[in-house]
Amino acid sequence: MTKRITISDVAIHAGVSKSTVSQYLNGRYDYMGQKTKEKIESAIKELKYSPNMVARSLKQKSSTTIGVIVANILHVFSTQVIRAIEDFCHEKGFHVIVCNADDNSDKEKTYIDMLRAKQVDGIIAFPTGDNVALYQGLLEEKYPLVFMDRLVDGLDIPTVLLDNYKAATLAVDLLKDYQRPAIVTSPLKENLTPRMERLIGFKNELAKHGKSLSDEYIACGEINEIQKKLTELFQLSEPPDAIFAINDRVLHEVLSFMNYQNIRIPDDVALVNVDDVSFAEFYQPALTTISQPAFEMGKKAAELLFTQIKNPQDISTRETFRFEPMVNRRKSC
């Protein structure tokens, strides 16, 4: 077997002490001369030294790693949030392990257990809402934890999410002059905060304009059922003349359906959705969207987590932070 190169080997090769090499590896250069840094760097390259991360984490009581558990990585919002978190962590010298729970509480529990076993320093989660006891246990341990996008009743955990009621208000403001607005959404469950809040907000705001949203104008189903739900919606004796698509994946299904059925946007049906998808500007017609400040939200979640990692006793961050949505006015309504 090839002998594993140690920090002692690097120190001997560079002609410096082990503590100096350790300071170099941890980025502490305050009292280190340029020649010393160059000698250590050269020794590391020549010996092909790779730090033992497990040993370092045990010594420093930090794995310099966090976990992110997303509900569904296919959402543009999720990928943007992950990118913002990774950018923030990279600046801090931390790594990120990303897990996709598929809105499945069993997968979520498995990932939490795996991340704890790997001794990650904290977790940012898009919670399913079904592992309350598990999260409560983490909270009691003062384990660094932040929720993204969803609230879980009864848990005093810092949470970052969109002002979904404001997003719904913006959608109604765009569609209030149409006679038969409808909403298209993936499954509605109490623990799926964005969907529930956007539906409730849409209903309430329509009522302020003297319009009601009856159940027949709520098309709800799994993503692979949306086309069928849209067919039923447009077979009504009075089909909708405006649609609020609740997120980007629903939007894809709506656009596919309208294209297949030769329904013209906005001549036949107006369209607004939450999430400013990458193709919104060059789709024909350009899509009016309501965007989430995903990068700012991801950065905020990372900041909250790092505050807890530095000081687990700090409870000042245990609040809900809602971010403002923004309308991108184009030509689909």
Domain map (residue ranges) of the chain: 7-51, 63-160+295-321, 164-291
Q: Which of 46-50, 133-137, 224-228 has the highest mean pLDDT?
A: 224-228
Residue 293, pLDDT above cutoff 90: yes
At residue 7, the pLDDT reads: 85
Residue 26, pLDDT above cutoff 60: yes
Give the tens place of pLDDT for each residue, 227-259: 999 999 999 999 999 999 999 999 999 999 999
Alpha helices in 101-192, H assignment, sequence order? 105-117, 132-140, 164-175
Residue 188, pLDDT above cutoff 70: yes
At residue 253, the pLDDT reads: 97
DSSP codes, 73-86: TTSHHHHHHHHHHH
At residue 292, the pLDDT reads: 97
At residue 169, the pLDDT reads: 97
The more confident residue out of 29 and 34 is 34
Low-confidence winner among 45-49, 134-138, 141-145 (lowest mean pLDDT): 45-49
Give buried/exposed letters for 154-183 (b at 16+ CB in 10 A, else e). ebebbbbbbbbbbbbbbbbebbeebebbbb
Which helix H or strand E contains 315, and what residues bound it? none
The mean pLDDT value for 212-236 works out to 96
Residue 168, pLDDT above cutoff 80: yes
Query: 16 is written with which tokens?
Result: 């410096």
pLDDT band at 85 (very low <50, low <70, confident <90, very high): very high
Residue 138, pLDDT above cutoff 70: yes
Q: Which of 28-37, 135-144, 176-185 has the highest mean pLDDT?
A: 176-185
pLDDT band at 54 (very low <50, low <70, confident <90, very high): low
Residue 3, pLDDT above cutoff 90: no
At residue 56, the pLDDT reads: 55
Residue 275, pLDDT above cutoff 60: yes
Sequence length of the chain is 333
Between the alpha carbon of residue 133 and those of residues 70, 138, 311, the distances in Å are: 19, 9, 23
Give the tens place of pLDDT for each residue, 114-125: 999 888 999 999
Domain 164-291 falls under CATH 3.30.70.3150? no
At residue 100, the pLDDT reads: 96
At residue 53, the pLDDT reads: 55
Half-sphere exposure at residue 274, Cβ-oriented, CA atoms within 13 angstroms = 30
At residue 23, the pLDDT reads: 83
Closest to 258 in 3D by CA, of 178, 177, 250, 173: 250
At residue 104, the pLDDT reads: 93
pTM assigned to the model: 0.82
At residue 280, the pLDDT reads: 95
Domain 63-160+295-321 identical in fold to domain 164-291: yes
Residue 288 has φ and ψ, to the nearest 5°, of -80, 125
At residue 281, the pLDDT reads: 95
Average pLDDT, the chain: 91
Rounded distance between C-alpha atoms, residue 25 and residue 30, angstroms: 13
The more confident residue out of 8 and 264 is 264
At residue 5, the pLDDT reads: 82
Which CATH number does 63-160+295-321 carry? 3.40.50.2300
